[in-house]
């Protein structure tokens, strides 16, 4: 895919979604961090249902640490892998308090040192909480980037590096949200809604199907 087509895709998505953001509900970088840790292999809907109740009771590192693993588990048991996630969140709260004055760090290195935080989660926090032009590649973005031809790669890291390299600077801050929402609601895994797709004109998947 050439630069002209990539620009056309992002301009179209920008027009449809001028101010895209995560569907996870949060009111602070810490709330977002907890929500993103919980969202691994879980839907945003299920995470929001859990955090709506949790954050009424505890929404700071100190408050969640006071709950302990058992107390936290009561609020997140409807989410997959809740035992491991509860343990990671409690450990993360302790590190935030002891090493970061209870604040969410703003560097990739410090974020990835937190239990339960990998590269994708760090990218989400850097982008959504702090406005950095990072692109977190989840299953939706991996699929959309490869299927459309926007940025092909065999691994999420390969796709991320190509997206960062090939996405015009003016679109980098919002690219993550545009692509994840497009993959979630239009470019679905099993039955992509090509007849509703606003970027079908430049999509290489369409060209391959029609060949």
The architecture CATH gives domain 29-129? Orthogonal Bundle (1.10)
The answer to whether 3-20+134-210 and 29-129 have equal CATH topology is no
Domain boundaries, the chain: 3-20+134-210, 29-129
Do residues 104 and 128 touch, judged by C-beta distance below 8 A?
no
174 counts as catalytic: no
Contact 61, 90 (CB under 8 A): no
Is residue 120 flagged as an active site residue? yes
The radius of gyration of the chain from alpha carbons, rounded to an integer in Å, stands at 18
Catalytic residue among 85, 138, 174, 206: 138
Q: Among the options 85, 120, 174, 206, which is catalytic?
A: 120
What is the fold of 3-20+134-210?
Endonuclease Iii, domain 2 (1.10.1670)
Q: Read off the pTM.
A: 0.89
Per-residue pLDDT of the chain (211 residues; tens, 9 = 90+): 899 999 999 999 999 999 998 999 999 999 999 999 999 889 999 999 999 999 999 999 999 999 999 999 999 999 989 999 999 999 999 999 999 999 999 999 999 999 999 999 999 999 999 999 999 999 999 999 999 999 999 999 999 999 999 999 999 999 999 999 999 999 999 999 999 999 999 999 865 555 4
């Amino acid at each position: 895919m050439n630069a002209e087509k990539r620009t056309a895709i992002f301009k179209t998505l920008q027009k449809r979604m001028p101010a895209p953001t995560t569907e996870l509900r949060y009111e602070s970088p810490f709330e977002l961090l907890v929500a993103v840790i919980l969202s691994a292999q879980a839907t945003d809907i299920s995470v929001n249902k859990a955090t709506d109740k949790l954050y009424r009771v505890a929404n700071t590192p100190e408050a969640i640490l006071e709950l302990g693993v058992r107390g936290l588990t009561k609020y997140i048991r409807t989410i997959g892998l809740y035992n491991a996630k509860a343990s990671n969140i409690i450990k993360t709260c302790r590190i935030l308090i002891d090493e970061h004055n209870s604040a969410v760090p703003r560097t990739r290195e410090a974020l990835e040192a937190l239990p339960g935080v990998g590269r994708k989660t760090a990218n989400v926090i850097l982008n959504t909480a702090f406005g950095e032009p990072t692109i977190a590649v989840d299953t939706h973005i991996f699929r959309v980037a490869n299927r459309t031809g926007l940025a092909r790669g065999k691994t999420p890291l390969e796709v991320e590096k190509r997206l960062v390299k090939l996405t015009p600077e003016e679109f980098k801050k919002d690219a993550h949200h545009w692509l994840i929402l497009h993959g979630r609601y239009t470019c679905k895994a099993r039955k992509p809604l090509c007849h509703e797709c606003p970027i079908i004109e430049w999509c290489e998947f369409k060209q391959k199907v029609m060949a």
